[in-house]
A = this chain, B = another copy of it.
Amino acid sequence: MNSETITMAHGSGGLASQNLLRELILPNFSNPALDELNDGAILNVKSKIAVSTDSFIIRPIFFPGGNIGKLSICGTVNDLAVSGAIPKYLTASVILEEGFPIDDLKTIVASMSKVAREVGIQIVTGDTKVVERGSADGIFINTTGIGEVIDGVNLSPRNVQAGMKILVSGFLGDHSAAILSSRHGLETNLESDCAPLSKLTQEMLATEKNIAAMRDITRGGLAEVLNEIATESNVGILIDEEKIPIRDEVRGVCEILGFDPLNLANEGKLIAFVPSESAEKILDTMRKNPFGKNACEIGEVVTNSRGRVGMKTSIGSIRVVDFPPGELVPRIC
């Protein structure tokens, strides 16, 4: 690379684009489909696939526990994982602002490469566009993932029934709290939980194929995902405040900045709705995985209050947990 920042020519499709691709992208992601450099990658897959897409616009792009590159892989991998699929292939499309430091791009691409290798997912095709200074904010990344659905697995809110237990894979709110701390200059030891959950979900499904539904707990937090499931499944949900794992530092950030920890985004946590009789067995499996070591049960599916989410508070009353309101934490992913 001759220049040290991105120029419009890097997005032109001409020689500078070719060089960026050949010097920076291909050495990190080499695989047969990508190396062909065709307009489309040709892939062999099982006949039942899961597909998910996400654009990442997080600020700051480098944050405690990760960066936009790592996040862009984990986010899409996790969507495939909670769909009951084994992540196989990924596309990556980057929009860069003119003037973006090439060293930062190298760091981001290296993070993408590292976590993709950990997951065993191949980046098979991509795209780079450049816009003028002031027309974007540094870098945006879209990833779209393709996974092969595990045989015999069928995860859907429709399977969720009264009596099922609700499990979460660990402490909630770390991602949002770390980002908020970073933005507001709060001194904490918090790190984003940004992590790929596909091995965890595969282990859970190997333990119990009849898990009813899983979700990763991202934008809108636990409140969002519980309300979505309650609405889509037309069940009632009752969680127990004292069982919800939230770090004291996260509670502290929430108190200072006026957030409800139930609304905070995570980037490496999932929720699972499981048959009551399998709950302990699944928790045992989860706790053996580094990304599930603090897994716990937080409540259950109930017959009353269909479509609604209630929380037993520490003083014994029941508080309604609503969908998060409009303006939450912007640009959290």
Contact = CB atoms under 8 A, between A and B. Distances in A.
A12 interface: yes
From A7, A9, A11, name the one whose CB has the most chain B CB atoms within 10 angstroms.
A11
Nearest to A82: B39
Given A12-B330, A140-B140, A41 B45 contact: no
A14 to B, nearest CB: 4
Nearest to A52: B40
Q: How many copies does the complex hold?
A: 2
A159 to B, nearest CB: 12
Contact of A326 (B16, B44, B50, B218): B16
A219 B215 CA distance: 39
Interface residues of A, number: 84
Nearest to A13: B219
A127 to B, nearest CB: 5
Contacts of A147: 40
B137 A39 contact: no
A8 interface: yes
Given A52-B125, A156-B38, A44 B43 contact: no
Contacts of A46: 47
A143 to B, nearest CB: 9
A132 interface: yes
Given A13-B218, A45-B45, A137-B136, A146 B51 contact: yes
A62 B166 CA distance: 48
A89 B53 CA distance: 12
Interface stretch (A91-99, A107-115, A277-285): A91-99
B53 A142 contact: yes
Given A49-B49, A55-B93, A57-B95, 4 more contacts: A12-B219, A13-B265, A37-B232, A52-B125
